[in-house]
């Protein structure tokens, strides 16, 4: 099998890249190790930055998002039983975010790819990327019980942290920067209308909590729990009781309860691999970087990566200049490190570290007081949360 761009992974990054290349008249093949049902149901991110929303619309993949997604113009910070709303449009010149689950983004992009795009092979396990430092890289993969080879001009690894793409980098070429946090998120899906119309980020002495949603009738909520926690060890009422404690305010706000349909624990990690390119192999999304979910950056960073690659390849096709491809890693990493910084700041601002001292607790509260009491500090948070324009790199 032969194509111009071999894409490993049919998550939102790989699927969006295929769509962008299709719209630019560049052929691509997408290899995905799981079946279609798995890709369309795996729960991941749910917050789309303004730039991501704009890209999906421009790519022709925004129709259902605009119909069913929930535009949010702010978030609420809670601490010390107080509530403070951060007004995104008022602080950023009009930017907002969209609540629209990754599962839905993938469904939309899969439907477009199968209807209009190039080959999208499910249950096609990439085994290795070979000859990445030549003009003819190859992806060995297994599909329908037999091994095959995808010959490419370029390979983009959108296959996540555990995929084969990053392993194709020679030993000694890459440098890893990472931090593992001593806590995770116990996340639930519940069949109950959200108790607030915007996301609520709560700092509490017992730990962090987040109120989010997937739709007007489905709530998504999270609790900070110790690393290694078993989700099944938490009873439903125990979860609701703890959420209620951490969201407590001095007014008459109440948390609505409902049937819990899913529980899981998400570990917290910061990770960056530099560089993001080896020869004609490019990394994108979780293959190159991971952020703790506090800043809602993971999916949005992946979108930035594939937009940068698609623009660079189109520039090469139109001008013959490899300048943008050669600067791919540098361009992406500027954005990535800002997202890592913001995600780390939000995580350390709102989560209680095991063994935290009273001094550290007071510093957290002082940081929150600064954000809620200073327009400049609040603007910095709003600009980072809604995302910087993708053309700034």
Catalytic residues: 72, 201, 293, 297, 385
* 195 close to 221: Cβ distance less than 8 angstroms: no
Yes or no: say if 343 and 292 are a contact pair by the CB < 8 Å rule. yes
Q: Are 341 and 385 in contact (CB under 8 A)?
A: no
209 three-class SS: strand
The strand pair at 260-274 and 289-290 is best described as: antiparallel
Residue matched to tokens 């329908």 = 144
Q: What share of the chain is helix, strand, coil (3-state, %, to 5)?
A: 40, 30, 30
Sheet with strand 47-48: strands edge to edge:
47-48, 97-99, 70-72
Count other C-beta atoms under 10 Å from residue 218's C-beta.
16
Which candidate, 205, 250, 200, 251, places its Cα nearest to that of 77? 200
CB 280 within 8 A of CB 134: yes
Contact 197, 70 (CB under 8 A): no
Tokens of 255: 């948390």
Rounded to the nearest 10°, the torsion over CA 319, 321, 324, 325 is: 120
What's the rounded Cα separation, in Å, for the pair 110 and 155?
Answer: 20
Q: Are 109 and 306 in contact (CB under 8 A)?
A: no
Token pair of 99 as six digits: 């609540």
Q: How many CB atoms neighbour CB 348 within 10 A?
A: 16
């Amino acid at each position: 099998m032969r194509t111009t761009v071999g894409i490993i992974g049919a998550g939102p990054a790989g699927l969006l890249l295929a769509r962008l290349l299709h719209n630019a008249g560049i052929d691509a093949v997408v290899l995905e190790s799981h079946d279609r049902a798995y890709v369309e149901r795996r729960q991941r991110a749910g917050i789309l930055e303004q730039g991501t929303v704009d890209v999906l619309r421009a790519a022709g993949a925004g129709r259902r998002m605009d119909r069913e997604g929930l535009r949010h113009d702010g978030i609420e910070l809670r601490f010390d039983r107080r509530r403070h709303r951060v007004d995104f449009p008022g602080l950023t010149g009009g930017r907002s975010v969209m609540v629209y689950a990754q599962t839905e983004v993938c469904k939309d992009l899969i439907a477009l790819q199968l209807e209009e795009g190039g080959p999208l092979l499910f249950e096609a396990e990439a085994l290795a990327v070979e000859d990445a430092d030549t003009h003819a890289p190859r992806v060995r993969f297994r599909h329908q019980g037999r091994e095959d080879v995808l010959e490419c001009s370029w390979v983009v690894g959108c296959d996540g942290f555990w995929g084969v793409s990053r392993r194709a980098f020679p030993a000694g070429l890459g440098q890893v920067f990472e931090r593992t946090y001593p806590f995770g998120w116990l996340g639930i899906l519940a069949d109950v209308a959200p108790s607030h119309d915007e996301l609520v980020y709560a700092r509490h002495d017992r730990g962090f909590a987040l109120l989010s949603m997937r739709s007007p009738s489905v709530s998504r909520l999270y609790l900070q729990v110790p690393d290694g926690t078993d989700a099944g060890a938490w009873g439903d009422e125990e979860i609701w009781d703890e959420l209620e404690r951490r969201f407590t305010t001095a007014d008459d706000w109440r948390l609505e309860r409902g049937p819990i349909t899913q529980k899981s624990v998400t570990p917290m990690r910061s990770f960056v691999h530099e560089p993001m390119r080896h020869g004609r192999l490019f990394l994108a999304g979780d293959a190159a970087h991971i952020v703790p979910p506090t800043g809602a950056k993971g999916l949005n960073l992946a979108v930035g990566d594939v937009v940068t690659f698609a623009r660079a390849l189109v520039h090469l096709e139109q001008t013959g200049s490899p300048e943008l491809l050669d600067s791919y890693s540098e361009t992406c990493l500027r954005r990535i490190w800002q997202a890592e910084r913001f995600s780390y700041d939000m995580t350390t601002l709102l989560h209680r570290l095991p063994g935290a001292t009273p001094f550290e607790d007071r510093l957290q509260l002082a940081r929150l007081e600064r954000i809620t009491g200073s327009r400049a500090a609040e603007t910095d948070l709003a600009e980072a949360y809604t995302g910087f324009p993708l053309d700034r790199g």
